[in-house]
Amino acid sequence: MSTDKVSVHGSWASRWVFILAATGSAVGLGSIWKFPYMVGVYGGGAFVLVFLACIALIGIPVMMAETLIGRRARQSPANALKVLALEAGHSSKWSWGAFAGMITALLILSFYSVVGGWSLEYIIDVGKGDFQAVTPDGVGAFFGELIADPWRLVAWHTLFMLLSAITIAKGVNAGLERSLRILMPLLFVLIVILLGYSLTTGHFMEGVHFMFDFTPEKLLDGLLPAMGHAFFSLSVGVGSIMIYGAYMTKEASISATVVGVALLDTFVSLLAGLALFPIVFAAGLNPSEGPGLMFVTLPYAFGNVAFGTVMGVVFFILVAVAAWSSAISLLEPMVAYLVERTKVRRGWVTFWLSFICWFVGLGTVFSFNIWKQAKFFVNEGGAFHLYQWGATAGLDFFGVIDFFTSRIMLPLGGLCFVIFAGWVMGREAVRDELSVRSPVLFALTFFLMRYVAPIGILIVFAAQLWK
């Protein structure tokens, strides 16, 4: 049975716009900033291997589940689950899972905007020639000074949030297609150029070994972080892809489109890693540097290569655009939900939601400076403290939000959506939406959705608990 619901928020003009929007959502700071630093922190190849396995076996099925739920219901995530659950004779409480996802998206946006702000600052700094012939220590000190200054960070965070909010207030359709059609391919070209530079450093193979060699002992350490990052990278588990699915035209094939977007996103992550690590080794930087890795490594490269200033400015503009197109997908699910529920104007809803995210984001800003000493979940010398000022172990505010969203909420959200598609909606509804022609391919996809992905998520959680 096919459904012919219509979204009150409008729909994409064609299949291509969905592909652009979904790719815009997936490809962002997760691929260029977060993936390389996590590979560095969690020991290289083992992390990459688990990440790739999670993308294929869990992330793609969840992405398909989200898209098809959204397109069938054509509403915001919480309402989509409610309507479809009631249609299938199940409890409307399924919507709670989506609601939790939409809140998670806002929490992610709170720190995403801060880092998006860093890339805005770097456009100016690279443009001014601040990194010309810079030394590795020099870039490190530069980044250190930036994050030590709360006011500068707040200013950029505010600007980034404003840019995202304005787009959402106008409606996701406006401008998105035009800008992404040109800028996404350009980002890809620039990463390939950086890769070219990496090849000339004489440390390329060191980078390749770091990313792809692994010791089995390390596999377990990076298991949950890698799964969490697979969700983060594909933008799944919070309803972002679901709301984009709600605006997707009926003719488009979900399966082919989703696989394409996921492959592209993964490819960009791998390329970004391959471009970055040889530079890290050539400059004698530390691969487990953490969140500053990209902001220390790339300016060093741009500062030491011909046309580096122009290339650097273009690169950081593109990073900011990639971050912006992801940020709007974090805001859209809750905006759509509140517009549906309250009938309040889109502009107002957007204003208040982005203000709340901005406010929570101040916690991330301060984690790098005035609240640097504030540590949560401290486990030191066998004693556990929920909070301690000045502890050497534990997580700062940014660490807590990142841990809670990426490692707990995204996989739980994904679990909810994939179980919903596989068990609540049932085979016929899924077949109708996925439009996979080959029966064998459909059976395989449905099997992944129904069994492999949910069991995979549970196994990773269990392995983490019993580690």
Judged by the rule CB under 6 A, the positions of this chain that interact with ligand PFF are 25-26, 28-31, 105, 108, 232-233, 235, 238, 240, 326, 329-330
Residue 362 beta carbon to ligand PFF: minimum distance, rounded to whole angstroms = 20
Q: Which is nearer to ligand PFF, 34 or 203 (CB)?
A: 34
Residue 390 beta carbon to ligand PFF: minimum distance, rounded to whole angstroms = 32
Q: Which long-range contacts (CB under 8 A, 24 or more apart) does 402-407 make?
A: 402/111, 404/107, 405/104, 405/107, 405/108, 405/232, 406/108, 406/225, 406/228, 406/229, 406/231, 406/232, 407/224, 407/225, 407/228
Phi, psi of 375 (to 5 degrees): -120, 135
DSSP structural state of residue 410: H
Residues 6+ apart with CB under 8 A from 62: 231, 234, 236, 237, 414, 417, 418, 453
Counting every residue written for the chain, the total comes to: 467
Q: Which is nearer to ligand PFF, 104 or 445 (CB)?
A: 104
Angstrom distances, CA of residue 246 to CA of 136, 175, 361: 47, 19, 28
Structure token digits, residue 107: 């929490």
DSSP strand E in 211-322: where?
none
Q: Which is nearer to ligand PFF, 25 or 350 (CB)?
A: 25
Residue 305 beta carbon to ligand PFF: minimum distance, rounded to whole angstroms = 26
Residues 6+ apart with CB under 8 A from 173: 10, 12, 13, 17, 247
SS3 374: strand
Residue 313 beta carbon to ligand PFF: minimum distance, rounded to whole angstroms = 21
Q: Which is nearer to ligand PFF, 46 or 62 (CB)?
A: 62
Residue 117 beta carbon to ligand PFF: minimum distance, rounded to whole angstroms = 14
SS3 348: helix
Residue 266 beta carbon to ligand PFF: minimum distance, rounded to whole angstroms = 11
Q: Residue written as tokens 């901005």? A: 358
Q: Which is nearer to ligand PFF, 239 or 308 (CB)?
A: 239
Structure token digits, residue 24: 């815009």
Residue 378 bridge partners (DSSP): 385
Q: Which H or E run includes 63?
A: helix 60-73
Q: Which residue of the chain is nearest ligand PFF when measured via CB? A: 30
Q: Which is nearer to ligand PFF, 201 or 326 (CB)?
A: 326
Residue 265 beta carbon to ligand PFF: minimum distance, rounded to whole angstroms = 7
d(CA 292, CA 403): 17
Q: Which is nearer to ligand PFF, 201 or 233 (CB)?
A: 233
Q: Which is nearer to ligand PFF, 25 or 95 (CB)?
A: 25
Residue 330 beta carbon to ligand PFF: minimum distance, rounded to whole angstroms = 5
Helices (H) and strands (E) in the chain, counts: 22, 2
Residue 294 beta carbon to ligand PFF: minimum distance, rounded to whole angstroms = 12
Q: Which is nearer to ligand PFF, 131 or 332 (CB)?
A: 332
Q: Residue written as tokens 């949560």? A: 376
User: How many CB atoms are located within 10 Å of the residue 31 CB?
Assistant: 28
Residue 105 beta carbon to ligand PFF: minimum distance, rounded to whole angstroms = 5
Residue 375 bridge partners (DSSP): 388
Q: Which is nearer to ligand PFF, 63 or 123 (CB)?
A: 63
